Each structure stands twice: as structure tokens, then as C-alpha cells.
Amino acid sequence: MGKSDKHQSIWLILCQKWYWLIFFIPILIVVIYSAQQLNNHNYWDGAAGNLLATLLGIITGVPIALEIERDKIKREEQERINESKDRAKQVSFLLKEELLHNLSRLKNRQDDKTSLPLQPLKITTWHALCDSAEIKWINNPILLSSIASAYHYISIVSEIESRCYQALRGINVKYDDGVFASQRLLEDARIFDTEITQNITTAIYCIEETFGK
């Protein structure tokens, strides 16, 4: 802790210790002065009028001020809720666009164990939103779970297809049964065709049910 921090801490302690004096000293001055004016009827008439006016101001002003403050807090809270919903919708629609893209790519892959499409499945939006923590705006557990499940299978298939491509362009091992490594990997990728399609479709449905089309 530096000298400036120590000075600030000492100052805060002193302020907290002597804070009551801010209220006590003015009250004490008023009491002493009023005691000196015991026989001054004009003083007490004016003091009584001022006291009543002050009490009336407190009775009418404080509730109004509190109500204004409550309304302000409610408006700010509603603005935060609306902003959160808008951000969640924006994030979900970005993912929906990517999921629809992958769904269209899967149509060319269904049950095709002989060729590997050159264009891979797309996961860039999902990774970008997760890395930037923007995914936090989706606070609906069911919606988030459905999207995460879809990308779980997309990631699996994408990884298998990536290895298949590397085998085709590199060392393509041939197994004892005469099947090449690339062919075996392609067959493994197609095993997930049903799961990945179902999960993407479910995720898109959940997004549309939550935010509309």
C-alpha cells in the first residue's frame, strides 16, 4: 500500500468517526440559540411557523421524491432488460444464419461416403461469440443447450472431415482390408449425419420459438 492509499484510508476512518458531528453541531447551535430566546415571543412564533412549513415540506416532498426515484430505477431496469433481450436476439440470429448455412451443406453430404466436399462446415461465428463472451446474452438455458448441442456435433464432423482432407492431401494409409484412411474417416463422419441434422434443426426451431422468424 502506497502513501497515498494510507492517507486515503486514514481520511475515510476520520470521516466515518466524526460524521455524526455534521448533524450534531448544527442542532446544538439551534438549541443553544433557542434557549437564549425563551422570552422572545416573536422568535418562537416565527420558529413555529418555520417548523410547520419544514414538516409539511418533508411530509409532501419526501414521498414524491421517493416515488420519482422508484420510477427512475424501474425505467433503468426495464432498459437493461430490453437491451439484454435485443442482444440475445442479435446473437441468436447470427448463430441461426450459420446453422442454416451448415444445414444446406449437409444436404450434399448425406450418406455420401465416396467424396469429401471441399467447403468445410462453418463454426467461425460460434467461436467468435464464445471467445468474445457475447454468448452470455443468451440466458435461456433450453435455447443455449440446443445451440451448444448442435455445435457439438458440427465440431465433431468438422474435425473428422479435416483429418480426412489431410489424409487425402498427405499420407493416406491403406489398412489390411484395403480401405484407405481417408475412406474410413469419411465413413466415420457420415455416421453423425442424422444426429447433426436433428440437432441443427432443433436449435433453429428453438431460436425461432424464442425470438420469431
Going from N- to C-terminal start, the domains of the chain cover 1-33, 88-211
Q: What is the pLDDT of residues 159-172, one digit of tens each?
A: 999 998 888 888 88
* DSSP conformational letter for 135: G
Q: What is the pLDDT of residue 25?
A: 67
For cell 502513501, the residue is 3
Would you say 99 and 200 are in contact if contact means Cβ atoms under 8 Å apart?
A: yes
The percent of residues above 70 in pLDDT, for the chain, comes to 71
Task: Tell me how many helices (H) and strands (E) the chain has.
Answer: 7, 0
Cell triple for 34: 433557542
Q: Work out the average pLDDT over 62-76.
A: 81
- Which residue type sits at 69? E
The most confident of 46-50, 59-63, 111-115, 117-121, by mean pLDDT = 117-121
Is the CB of residue 37 less than 8 Å from the CB of residue 44? yes
Quote the cell numbers at residue 55: 414538516
Q: Which residues contact 24 (CB under 8 A, 6 or more apart)?
A: none
Q: What is the pLDDT of residue 127?
A: 96
* Rounded CA separation 157/116 (Å): 12
CA distance 39 to 142: 78
Q: Which amino acid is at 207?
A: I
Mean of the per-residue pLDDT values for the chain? Answer: 82
From the CA atom positions of the chain, what is the Rg in Å?
36
Q: Region 79-101: what's the mean pLDDT? A: 94
Measured over the CA atoms of residue 172, residue 178, residue 183 and residue 187, the dihedral's sign is negative
Cα separation of 51 and 82, whole Å?
46
User: What is the structure's pLDDT at 192?
Assistant: 92
pLDDT at 65 over 70: yes
**pLDDT exceeds cutoff 60 at 3:** no
Q: How confident is the model at residue 16 (pLDDT cuts 50, 70, 90)?
A: low
CA nearest neighbour of 99 among 173, 197, 180, 175: 197
* Residue predicted with more confidence, 107 or 60: 107
- Cβ-based neighbour number of residue 87 at 10 Å: 14
Residue 52 has pLDDT above 90, yes or no: no
In this predicted structure, the answer to whether residue 119 has a pLDDT above a threshold of 90 is no
**Of the ranges 32-36, 132-136, 178-182, 200-204, which one carries the lowest mean pLDDT score?**
32-36
Between 61 and 110, name the one with better pLDDT: 110
What average pLDDT does the segment 149-158 reach?
95
Query: Quick check: pTM over 0.85?
Result: no
Tell me if 134 sits within 8 A of 88, measured CB to CB: no
